[in-house]
Structures are given as structure tokens and as C-alpha cells.
Amino acid sequence: MGTEHKETILEVKNLKTHFFSGKKVIKAVDGVDFDVKRGETLGIVGESGSGKSITSLSIMRLIAEPPGKIVDGEINFKGKNLLSETEEGMRQMRGNKISMIFQEPMTSLNPVYSVGEQIAEAFRIHQKLPKKEAWQKAVEMLRLVGIPSPEKRAKQEPHELSGGQRQRIGIARALAVEPKLIICDEAVSALDVSVQAQVLNLLKKLQKEYGLTYLFISHDLGVVRHISDRIIVMYLGKVVEIAEKKSLFDNPRHPYTQALLSAIPEPNRKKKKERIILKGDVPSPIDPPSGCRFHTRCPLATDLCRQSDPELKSLGEGHQAACHYAEAIS
């Protein structure tokens, strides 16, 4: 899917979100830049601690202060900087213009209200619909996301539904008032593989039918490959590679991306690739390594990598990588 002529609906510039504990500063997100085009799915992938979920919470302005704080950058949504928006303005924005689907819907669903009431609430708040009409719309949303017997299910509480059904409820809530952007934060990682596939296929079907735009966050490159048009790879608070899906999987230009891809099982034996084993663990964001943050685990690291932090540079056709040797890597 080409995105170069699409309207940009979200632009993140030099985003820095830090957490403060005494005198320690945890640089969870440390200078992130990307944009999201209308109608595309932009995937963000990386290990735990890469900053991908903190990036999504920053966009929604859901970072708890203290200990967290967005210390720099811009988050421009349809030309408006969300970091300049009032809290009341953000409340109107959340759910209405930007929605979020969480990893475990039980954390965002109220256990004592029926799922129908919780979806209907969005229609009452954002569209000012009367109670009866909001309820009818909620039932329609359950039907839209493939919940069987939606009139019956609407009256049930979250604990009465399976994990896959609860995630469909989360999708229904996110879609309720036709938001311009839906952020999926590890939206299928808590589900069984077969249910994951069902939910991913549902998201793709709804996107095609309603022209939805997704920012899809996951630690699983296989999942991201299934749903994304473009992919961002993050490591220790920074973006290390951005590319169209095919370009990233066929020709990764950052050693970290190569290592992540080498860990994916390859069913085609002729295409079997050499496994890249990363040394050690992800360093602490409290005191990240000097130079390139990946150099402590990189099989190609040199003195230049240890001393100088590489900028994200263009390699042509929308492919960017933050590696001193990106041009030589293939």
C-alpha cells in the first residue's frame, strides 16, 4: 500500500517522555519522530523497554505525572499540537477523535456494568444520543464486530465473556464514534494464536470497510507483518529503522532489525536464514550506553558506534535506518 500521497493525520516530532525517581531520570522515549498517513496501519515493534507503549500513552496524554513527564517534542494530530491541548480538550479528543484498544480489555472495561452500557456511554457522551438510541447503537456495534446474539451479550458483564469476545468489545468501544485514529497497544498479545488471527482479520476487514487508520504496537514481528503497511523498529527509547513492510522484511538495514527477523521461524526451508544471537540484555534507560545505544549487543559495533550516536538517515524509497553502516548492510 503506497502512503506517499496520503494525508498525514498524526505527526510526532522529537518526542521525549522521561520518568523521574529521586535524582534518576529514565529516558523511556528519547527523541522519536514519525508520521501516520490516513488509511494506513503503521506498526511499532521492539522488545520490552523499547518505549513503544510509552509512545502510545504519550500520544493519548495518559502519562501519569508524576513520575512521568513529556519533556519535549510535538504531537500534531490533524495540524493541532496535542501537547498544547487542555485536559478538557484531551477528554473530548479521546474516544471521539483518537481511540485506544488495550492489551487486556478487562483493565479498561468496568466489571460492574454491562458491556452494552459501556459502549452506549460513548454515544451518550460524544454524540449526545438519548439512552434508548445509544443502547440500540451499542447492540449494532456488537453485531459489527462479530459478537453472536448481540442483544443478549450486550446485557452481560465483562467477566461473563471470553478473552476473544472481550477484545471484540474493546474494538467495538474504540470504533463507536468513528475516530480518525485507533491505537492498538499489544491488542492481541494476551490472546491464543487462533483468536489472535480472528481479531487481526477483523481489524483488517473493518479498516477496509470504514477507511480506518491504525497505529499498531506489538513485540511480535509476525503479528506486525500480518497487519502493517509500514513498520517502525524501536530500541531503548529511539527509532532505529522505518520502512514499508516488504522493504523491512526483504532488506533490513539495521543489525537490531536483522536480529529480530532472524528469530522468526521460517517455514520455507530454502529461505532458511542464519540466526543472529544478541549478546546480553537491553541496557537500562537510566544510564544508556554512549554513542549508538545498540552497540553493547551489536555484532558489527566499532569504536565509531561506541562514540557517536547515528542519526536516522534516508536510504531511499521511504526506508530509514539509524546505523553508521546502514548503506553497507544488506
Q: What is the pLDDT of residue 1?
A: 47
Question: For the chain, what percentages of helix, strand and coil (3-state, to nearest 5) are there?
Answer: 35, 25, 40
The cell for 317 is 524509497
Highest mean pLDDT among 123-127, 135-139, 199-203: 135-139
> DSSP string of 93-126?
HBTTTEEEE-SSGGGTS-TTS-HHHHHHHHHHHH
Q: What is the pLDDT of residues 186-226, one digit of tens each?
A: 877 767 777 788 888 888 888 998 889 999 999 888 889 88
At position 99, the amino acid (one-letter code) is S
Cα–Cα–Cα angle for 309, 313, 317, rounded to 5 degrees? 155
Q: What is the pLDDT of residue 177?
A: 78
Highest mean pLDDT among 68-82, 120-134, 250-264: 68-82
Question: What is the average pLDDT value for the chain, to the nearest integer?
Answer: 88
**Domain boundary assignment for the chain:** 8-97+179-321
pLDDT band at 41 (very low <50, low <70, confident <90, very high): very high
C-alpha distances (whole Å) from 80 to each of 14, 86, 198 are 16, 12, 35
Q: Which CATH superfamily is domain 8-97+179-321 in?
A: P-loop containing nucleotide triphosphate hydrolases (3.40.50.300)
> DSSP string of 134-178?
HHHHHHHHHHHTT-SSHHHHTTS-GGGS-HHHHHHHHHHHHHTT-
Q: What is the pLDDT of residue 280?
A: 77
| Count of all residues that appear for the chain in the document | 330
Say how far apart CA 224 and CA 44 lie, in whole Å. 8
